[in-house]
Amino acid sequence: MNELSRIAKWYQRSDTPPSEFETVAYLAIPFLRALGWTPQRMAIEWNHIDIGLFSKLPRNENNLAIVVEAKKMGKSCLNAKQQAERYAQSWTTSKLIVTDGIRYGIFIKKQNEFELASYLNLTRLRSGYSIYECSGAQDAVLALTPEMAI
């Protein structure tokens, strides 16, 4: 986590923000790996989904647990919710993650609508976000673990 935070802060100071692909490769995937996701249960660019996280193998539509929509760093990741929802409509997933590599919004499906449940900023860990009416880092990290994907 310290390494991810260091890289994230370096990107924030950089004159040129990383591309969406660089965000996925150097921030999102390493973060998910640190939380326990294995390459076998993650798919990059799977059926137009930036990152698909699977509850179990094989990696197919029946086992898709989480849709992750990544955006270029510096873009509001929460604005990607609608795009992630469009991808999730075809699948039975109950969780969406939107990220710019530093910030992560975790949306949980409740009564057929995805609601922001928790939010995480790797460079500023907080316990909650009253402006978003959601919990913070601890709940977000737990929601992102493979054990909570089932």
**Could you state, in order of their start, the residue ranges of all structural domains in the chain?**
2-149
Q: Which two tokens stand for residue 85?
A: 């929802």
Higher pLDDT, 113 or 150: 113
Entry pTM: 0.90
**Does residue 6 carry a pLDDT above 90?**
no
The segment with the largest mean pLDDT, out of 65-74, 90-99, 109-118, 136-145, is: 136-145
d(C-alpha 56, C-alpha 121), whole Å = 28
Which pLDDT belongs to residue 137?
95
Q: Going by DSSP bridges, is the β-strand pair 95-99/64-70 parallel, antiparallel, or unpaired?
A: parallel
pLDDT in tens, 80-89: 777 777 777 7
- Is-cis flag, bond preceding 58, omega within 30? yes
Instruction: Confirm or reject CATH 3.90.1570.30 for domain 2-149, answering yes or no.
Output: yes
Q: What is the band of 131 on the pLDDT scale with cuts at 50, 70, 90? A: very high
pLDDT in tens, 62-76: 999 999 999 888 766
Average pLDDT over residues 19-33: 94
